């Protein structure tokens, strides 16, 4: 064995330690080969209005999404990474002007508390790309009683064949 292959300088050791700690802290598996998208990458991939919502936690105007009236059977994917977030069976007409769902695909979303309007709200993001999608309210239909109020601009609808 050539033991020199396993010797690390302090900087290399620190980087590896930070990566391992971050992976353990976040509960996510980190791969050294994963390419993190830069802000510029996102701007190239998304239209400006998608970028504003997905990356800057913006909000689209109410009643502006074509998905409000979507009635076909299919799946709703994150426009940033194509992760499946909702199915058409979860969708309902909330009358709020945004596509609304009473449940989501387990593991597809992560949550945090948003204080942007002073009153705390439960905000959700795509678990895969961390893109902002909307907020959860406790005024939805059964069986959950929840309303996932989503910005339609950051969803891609894929109809079932």
Nearest alpha-carbon partner for 87 in 99, 101, 97 = 101
Task: Tell me how far apart the alpha carbons of residues 31 and 43 are, in angstroms, rounded to a whole number.
Answer: 24
Residue 50, judged by CB atoms within 10 A of its CB (0-12, 13-18, 19+), counts as: buried
Residue 151, helix vs strand vs coil: coil
Distance separating alpha carbons of residues 21 and 1, to the nearest angstrom: 29
Q: Is residue 78 among the annotated active site residues?
A: no
Single out the residue of 138, 135, 161, 140 nearest to residue 150, CA to CA: 135
CA distance 125 to 81: 12
Catalytic residue among 81, 126, 129, 149: 149
- Please report, for residues 69, 75, 141, the alpha-carbon distance to residue 91 in angstroms, rounded to integers and kept in the order given: 11, 10, 10
Residue with tokens 């204080």: 115
Task: Please identify every residue annotated as catalytic.
Answer: 149
């Amino acid at each position: 064995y050539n033991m020199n292959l396993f010797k690390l300088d302090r900087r290399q050791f620190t980087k590896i330690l930070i990566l391992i700690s971050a992976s353990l802290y976040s509960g996510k598996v980190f791969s050294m080969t994963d390419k993190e998208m830069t802000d510029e990458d996102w701007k190239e991939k998304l239209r400006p209005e998608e970028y504003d919502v997905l990356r800057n936690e913006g909000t689209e105007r109410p009643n502006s999404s074509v998905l409000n009236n979507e009635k076909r059977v299919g799946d709703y994917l994150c426009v940033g990474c194509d992760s499946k977030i909702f199915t058409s069976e979860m969708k309902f007409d909330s009358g709020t002007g945004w596509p609304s769902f009473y449940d989501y695909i387990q593991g597809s979303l992560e949550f945090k508390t948003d204080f942007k309007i002073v009153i705390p709200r439960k905000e959700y993001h795509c678990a895969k790309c961390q893109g902002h999608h909307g907020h959860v309210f406790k005024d939805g239909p059964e069986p959950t009683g929840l309303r996932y109020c989503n910005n339609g601009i950051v969803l891609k609808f894929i109809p079932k064949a």
